Chain A
Amino acid sequence: MAKTEPQLADMTYEQAFKELEGIIESLETEQKPLEESLKIYERGQLLLQYCTALLDQADLRIRQVNPAPGE
């Protein structure tokens, strides 16, 4: 898991939030070696900070498309 997890900066809020939820659920329901649990917990902390930062810093991005004229 540690090798394949995506870089935070590339994640959307939704992805980070989902992963965080998943992490918590796995910690809550599965018995894992302590070291792995701690690693997962640290990842959860990072995701948590990332989600909070996204909410704090978010600024609506607006883009315009020009529909094909006369369609």
Chain B
Amino acid sequence: MLQPSLFPPQSLSVSEINRYLRELFESDEILSDVWVQGEVSNLARPASGHVYLTLKDSLSALKCVIWKQTTMRLPITLQNGMAVELHGSVGVYERDGQYQLYVDAVRLTGEGALYQEFLRLKARLQAEGLFDEERKRPLPELPKKIGIVTSSTGAALQDILNTLRRRYPLAEVVLAPCAVQGAEAIPQIIASITALNAEPGIDVLLLARGGGSLEDLWAFNDENVVRAVAGSRVPVITGIGHETDFTLSDFASDTRAPTPTGAAEIAVPNVTDLRDQVSGLATRLEYTLQRVVGLERGNLLDLRSRLEKLSPAWQLRSDRQRMDELAGRLDSVIAHSQQFKHAELLNLGKRLISLNPYAVLQRGYAIVTDAQGGVVRSVNQVRREDVLDIRVSDGDILSRVLSDPCDGDSGGTNNGKD
């Protein structure tokens, strides 16, 4: 510029320089992805739904915009004076020539560091085996004494007591009150767990706290608290914060419930279930009695019939029956034998026919009988002048012996035949 040029340098329009700056900002890596921490001020929420604010520290200020869609998914509601960390990109609003932070995420200051610490401690305790599944103990089915570690003034306690009253009023509750946030929370929680472990007869321990920010729940991430939970002689159910909150105490406990109410529900059965159980037992009891009585009745009936069988009347009836039986058998035997005899007779008849001596006469033989009707078999049976009857097939020939038959001669037969 010492030597003025012939022509003055060309000037840029305002919009040109602003567009140039916008492009410059947008091409910068740091500016496009950055966390900025400071205090919220000049918070404005116009009808458009977008949120405008100025983030400041003791020396400086930065304009910020949160678009409507982003505001709806922020985890916290911003307020003036709040110490926060805002994430987004720094860009230029060309119309006003202003650069500003376009916010896409918000967290409370310190949360990022806390979270890192949380992850480190979690990894360390996990490596130590404090969260192992095998360490988890079963819960008692019907706890008689339930220990509660929570604030005596919090909503969590009321939620738990209401749930226990509704579901299982048989239990005795022993409350060991303690602060659940702030500096005193850590030693008090540990002291309460210790006190309830020293109390005789406690069956299960509820460690509870209502919802809150990560910082509010921080005591339950403290290493000593986590160790007290893991070291508890009595099984521990945790119900800390809301559904989405997981503390290290939750990992170390025997069972984790999403809320204090959930912890109470897990700890005890429902009284209506118990009523069902009892009425089930009532039915069984009645049934067993009926069975026992029925069994005895059966035995009695059995004895009665045995006794009846021993009475004289039974004997008589029995004899009578026996007699009827015998008579029947007799009849059948007789009938049988008659049949048999009939057949035998027929058979004999046939044999008789086949043996009919007269049948032989057809073949030329004759039967000789003497005057007395005796069959003549030998010459010695006849003498001269004896009258003999000779029977042939078709009639009798009366004849007289002409001479004395000779002894030892077989002619006698011939004579007879002649």
Contacts and interface: CB of A to CB of B under 8 A. Distances in A.
How would you classify the secondary structure of chain B's contact residues: helix, strand, loop or mixed?
A: helix
Interface of B: 142, 144, 152, 161, 164-165, 169-178, 187-188, 190-192, 194-196, 199, 271, 274-275, 277-278, 281-282, 284-285, 288-289, 291-293, 295-296
A38 B293 CA distance: 9
Contacts of B177: 64, 66
Interface in A1-25: 12-14, 17, 20-21, 23-24
B289 A41 contact: yes
Interface residues of A, number: 37
Interface of A: 12-14, 17, 20-21, 23-24, 27-28, 31-32, 34, 37-38, 41, 44-45, 48, 51-52, 54-55, 58-71
Query: Lowest 6 A-B CB distances belong to which pairs?
Result: A67-B191, A27-B288, A67-B195, A58-B169, A71-B191, A37-B292
A23 B285 contact: yes
12 contacts: A13-B142, A27-B292, A34-B292, A48-B281, A55-B271, A58-B169, A59-B169, A60-B161, A60-B172, A63-B175, A67-B192, A68-B194
A63 B192 contact: no
A60 B288 contact: no
Contacts of A24: 281, 284-285, 288
Contact of B173 (A48, A52, A60, A70): A60
B278 A52 contact: yes
A55 B142 CA distance: 13
B172 A65 contact: no
Contact of A34 (B144, B171, B175, B296): B296
A70 B183 CA distance: 12
Given A62-B175, A67-B178, A71-B187, A55 B285 contact: no
B230 to A, nearest CB: 18
Contact of B142 (A14, A21, A45): A14
Given A34-B292, A61-B171, A67-B194, 19 more contacts: A13-B142, A14-B144, A27-B285, A27-B288, A37-B289, A41-B288, A48-B285, A55-B271, A59-B169, A60-B164, A60-B169, A62-B173, A62-B175, A64-B175, A64-B176, A66-B195, A67-B188, A68-B194, A70-B187
Nearest to B173: A62
A8 to B, nearest CB: 15
Contacts of B289: 27, 37-38, 41
B281 A20 contact: yes
Given A67-B192, A68-B191, A60 B165 contact: yes
